[in-house]
Amino acid sequence: MKKLFGLLIAIVMAVALVGCRENTSKKLKVGLIGSAAGLNDKGYNQFAVDGLKKAEKEFDITIKTVDITSGVDINKTLDQFGQQKYDLVFLLEYNFDGLITSYNNGKPIAEKYPNTQFVIFNAFANTNEQGNKIHSNVTEVLFGVNESSYLAGMLAVLAYENRDIFIDNTYLFPNNRALAFVGGTNSEGITVFSYGFYQGANAAAHEAGVTYDIYETYEAGFGASTEMAQKIKGYYDNGVSTVYGAAGGVASNIRTEAETAKRFMIDVDANQDELKPGYVLTSVLKKTDAAVYELIKELKNKTFEGGKVRNYNLANSGTDITDLSTISRFIKEEKIAKWNEIKRKIRDAKAAIINGTIDVIDAQNHEVLDKTTLTNLNFR
């Protein structure tokens, strides 16, 4: 009888242990809400989804993506993810009030669902005026695109000042010096691009002893339109050599108009250089796929810490410009040495930013660019 009793105890304990293993090995549930540019934007959103799918394949997690372009309510969606006990939710849109401050005149969503980790991009929205974190389950992800935009601004000026290095008949360069910036909205998530771009352009113009006119808009939205195509055409008609766009789908307008004008444009988020070879000078990279994948991996490995700031910059390869291999195909053979010199200047500037010699204004950190300090730029 004692042996039988002992056997029963052993069986019960074995079943209990199996139950424990099942509980600890349950599938993680990860959600992702895209931005207004849409999940298929070939950049910021699409790369984040790529990172999510890579994690799904590698870690066997349950995922769900939500495209807000059809009028989806972001706060309601966040609330639903919380109700459904998702472990981790990424929010790519610049819309944080319901999550951080208040939802339906009540508790913020982050407070309602303390067991769900939320990740927001491009802003210190979970940081109060004293610099303290508001919610321990909200992680802020910031990309140092101000730094890579600085390099892009330098390159835009260096390309025009050395325009004779490019293959004849491919381009129709204007006689006057001008650049343009096209932003989707007037927000810190967009000015972080323009401020760095202006600083880099000013540095290169100062070294060359020249002045550039600057045209800009922060009302482009994030979808291509006839209206924006005309506005961008107007920039090129006014003698702009390079248009830098941080406006989602409006990039297709800029690429088309750049090719028509036989000038340059600079794209963002992903490597878009091959979409219009020779006319996309470079792309400023924001590696959302790496951020999404790494944070899911940490959650899976139980090393994830909420309520932190995660920075992806030039130093850790979270952002950069492209390797310029596409535009390099449009350099005259006899001008390769000059082109290599230009690329060396860009590499030197990158190193100086990383070591702190060059300080680039960061709008995401609530820093404001004093345009009067840009003595070699003339804002129109």
Query: What pLDDT does 350 receive?
Result: 98
Rounded Cα distance, 339 and 344, in Å: 9
Phi/psi for 311 (5° steps) reads -105, 130
Query: What pLDDT does 21 receive?
Result: 39
Query: What pLDDT does 25 receive?
Result: 57
Rounded Cα distance, 81 and 47, in Å: 21
Chain-centroid distance of CA 198 in Å reads: 18
Rounded Cα distance, 14 and 18, in Å: 6
Query: What pLDDT does 12 receive?
Result: 44
CB 213 within 8 A of CB 178: yes
Among candidate residues 346, 359, 339, 344, the one with its CA nearest the CA of residue 204: 346
> CA angle, corner 93, sides to 41 and 288, nearest 5?
60
Query: What pLDDT does 4 receive?
Result: 47
Q: Is 341 left (phi over 0), alpha (psi -120 to 50) or beta?
A: alpha
The pLDDT tens digits along the chain (380 residues) read 444 445 444 444 444 444 443 334 589 999 999 998 899 887 889 999 999 999 999 999 999 999 999 899 999 999 999 999 999 999 999 899 999 999 998 999 999 999 999 999 988 899 998 889 999 999 999 999 999 999 999 999 999 999 999 999 999 999 999 999 999 999 988 999 999 999 999 999 999 999 999 999 999 998 999 999 999 999 999 999 999 999 988 999 999 999 999 999 999 988 999 999 999 999 999 989 989 999 999 999 999 999 999 999 999 888 999 999 999 999 999 999 999 999 999 999 999 999 999 999 999 888 999 999 999 999 99
DSSP per position, 49-105: HHHHHHHHHHH--EEEEE-GGG---HHHHHHHHHHTT-SEEEE-SS--HHHHT-BTT
Give me 260's structure tokens: 């028509």
Instruction: Look up the pTM and report it.
Output: 0.81
Query: What pLDDT does 26 receive?
Result: 80
Query: What pLDDT does 20 receive?
Result: 40
Rounded Cα distance, 235 and 237, in Å: 5
CATH 3.40.50.2300, domain 145-285+319-379, yes or no? yes
Give me 312's structure tokens: 């992806």
Q: Where are the domains of the chain?
A: 145-285+319-379
63: number of Cβ within 10 Å: 18
Handedness of CA 372, 195, 35, 29 (dihedral sign): negative
Collect all residues with Cβ–Cβ distance below 8 Å to 81 and sequence separation of at least 6.
Answer: 31, 64, 89, 113, 116
C-alpha count within 13 angstroms, C-beta hemisphere, residue 13: 6
Query: What pLDDT does 373 receive?
Result: 97
Rounded Cα distance, 197 and 191, in Å: 9
